[in-house]
Amino acid sequence: MSKPKPPRRMPARQVSELFRRLHELNPRPTTELLYTTPFELLVAVILSAQATDVGVNKATRKLFALANTPQAMLRLGEEELKRHISTIGLFNAKASHIIATCRMLVDQYDGVVPRSREALEALPGVGRKTANVVLNTAFGEPTIAVDTHIFRVANRTGLAPGRTVREVEDRLMQVVPQEYLKDAHHWLILHGRYVCKARKPDCPHCVISDLCAYPHKTPAE
């Protein structure tokens, strides 16, 4: 049995056109997680693993009104934190990670979220993807956090095919034009969430459909 062919790699001129169109459609993209400080964003991203942004926002609206600093979160305590995030999947583990992270932030960084990847990834519950989101969204660094949406879009379109999340991230960092790199993360997530959906991509209303290498485009009804 022959292996399926990998998607055609998108030529550089088409990559530039793809991002030009996404930029034209949404000049200032951002996360749909609600936050006002780097710490709030960090907590929200930790909570968002295997959860929806809508569900996280519903919980953090009340949570951040009570505790939106590491010090306040430690005073709130793990059990009370669990009560506020109990509607979110894996809330027990996430509460434990958030409290441990708050303790590290207070003990090692005076309660300030660090701006280096190494320091962020050393925090409990923070992996490469979470660090990339914080670096990009809170601090404006040109990083790309590859979630399921970006992984799907990058492979399906031929923009940056890869077998693993890290492969896709590395290829995106190579092919995305510099002027679009800071916002590429948000454009691709939003495109995957609302247009290039997993089960039935909305190809007839996709602004980059003619650039996309996906051979099974959804026909117009």
Question: Which one is catalytic: 147, 170, 200, 202?
Answer: 147
The burial class, CB within 10 Å (0-12 / 13-18 / 19+), for 142 is: middle
Tokens encoding 35 = 């936050």
Query: What are the backbone angles phi and psi of residue 32, rounded to the nearest 5°?
Result: -95, 0
- How far apart (Å, rounded) are the C-alpha atoms in residues 185 and 188? 6
Cite the DSSP H helix spans in the chain.
Answer: 12-25, 38-48, 53-66, 70-76, 78-85, 91-109, 117-121, 128-133, 148-157, 165-175, 181-194
* DSSP classification of residue 196: S
* Number of residues in the chain: 221
Q: Is 129 a catalytic residue?
A: yes
Tokens encoding 74 = 């430690």
Question: Which one is catalytic: 129, 183, 200, 202?
Answer: 129
Q: Is 202 a catalytic residue?
A: no
CB atoms within 10 A of CB 55: 15
Active site residues per annotation: 129, 147
